[in-house]
Structure formats: structure tokens, C-alpha cells
Amino acid sequence: MTRTDRYLIDNQRTEVDERFDAFATLFDPTTFRHLEGLGVGPGWRCWEVGAGGTSVVSWLAKKVGPTGKVFATDIDTARLTGAARPPVEVRVHDVGAEEPPAEGFDLVHARLVLVHVPERERALRSMVKALRPGGRLLLEDGDPALQPLLCPDEHGPEQQLANRLRHGFRKLLQDRGADLSYGRKLPRLLREAGLHGVEADAHFPLTSPACAALESATVRQIRAGLVAAGLATDEEIDLHLANVASGGMDLATAPMISAWGRKR
């Protein structure tokens, strides 16, 4: 098994750009608010773990300026090549299996990464190890088990189908080793890792065009897996995609929990 095919949602499908765009719309404001609060500024050395897209990497690059450094790592860096210019350095890296790309970071950040990494305990240790004394770690991850429904207001057959397909998606994730209750554990895990001043909050998009775009891209990406596992038929998936495209449903994401702390 290769490094990329361990993950249900990989970066090699045509739908991935739609997913990254939706994530940026839904979560960038929250991420940037937290990064601002941590004081990211000129000269900082930052490690963006599992970068995938470029929105956070580009934001960090502007903040740290020419005297800073941003290491952007992922197991698939194809969509990071456009950002690979100073102060950004792009590297292929598996946070669950390899040592940090460097040490002495002022900031390490990962968003919607560790929930999918089977070796998440090792990955967390690696990120803490990479921090300098006083450096900040910001982890942001979903908690699908905390809010498992695509349509919390399940008032009709369209919503019932949507929630059944979301249940199938969660099963596929679990079968690949995802921890669907990982987000809620982040504050405790950061304290157990020795970080201080740990705080956390949650962001829960309930309905927006970006939620619909994310759902459509995700279902198209995992379609074959749902059908092969007997979790849905092609006809049901086609009907669901048509329902999503109609714009008449309120579609939610799992809550994204952000937790941060400082290395003593």
C-alpha cells in the first residue's frame, strides 16, 4: 500500500480542487483568526502540516515575510507547486511516518489532517518535538461523531437519504482508520503532550453554498467506495447529487474543533 492510498480522501482525484476551495471558504476565516491570535508575524518559522491546498500557506507566507520561513508538507504536493517560492519551501512528507522536516518552529499548524492519519499519536509527538521552546501548536480537526448528520433537520426523504449516505461515508472512514471523535480530544491531547495555556473552540457550518459544493465533490469522490461496500446504489447517489444541486436542503459539516497551546 502506498502512502496515498491509505486515505479514503486523497489528493489525486478531479474533485479535490472543489473540496479545497470549499474548505477555504468554510474554514479559512476561523483558521486565520486563530493564527492572528497566536501572533504570527515577520520572521516566524512555520510548519504547515498536510497543507494540501495553498490558502493557508499563502497567508502564512505574507505574514512571515522575507525574513521568515514556511515549510509546507504533504504526502502529495502536486497542488502546492504554485506556492513553492520564498519564503515557502514545499516538501513531500508523511507526518505519521517520518521525522519533522526541521525543528525550532515558532508555529506548527495542521487542519483536517490528523483525523485521517492512523499514526496520529506519532504525528502529534512529531509536531510537538518540532516546536522551539515557546512555540505554538494549532491543531484543527473534525469530529464527525459529535454531529454525524449531513442534514440535522431530517424532515423529509431527501434529508433521510442524505443522512444515510453520510453514515456510509463515516463507515468508509472508520474502515481506513479514521478517528471520528478525534476533534473533541484535542485539548486533552495537547495538555498530555506537555503544552501549556491550552484553549479550544469549535466552528460548525450549518448551511451555505460551500457546504453543498463540499458534499457534492465528496460524494463523487467516494462514489465507487460506497457502491462497492453495498452502502448505496448508483441510483441513490445520482438522486442525492440532484437533491444537493437543487439547493433546497440545509447541509452541515462536522464541527471543526481548533485547539492551541504553547511549548514550555
Q: Read off the pLDDT of each residue in 164-192 and give the average, rounded to a whole number.
A: 96
Which domains does the chain carry?
14-263 (3.40.50.150)
Q: Read off the pLDDT of each residue in 39-67 and give the average, rounded to a whole number.
A: 96
Can you give the three-state secondary structure of 245-263, one letter per residue? HHCCCCCCCCCEEEEEEEE
pLDDT tens string 119-141 = 999 999 999 999 999 999 999 99
Per-residue model confidence (pLDDT) at position 3: 47
Q: CB under 8 Å to 252, separation ≥6 — which residues?
A: 147, 149, 150, 151, 152, 204, 205, 206, 207, 211
Report the DSSP beta bridge partners of residue 73. 49, 91
Do the bridges between strand 69-74 and strand 195-203 make them parallel or antiparallel, or are there none, so unpaired? Answer: unpaired
pTM: 0.93
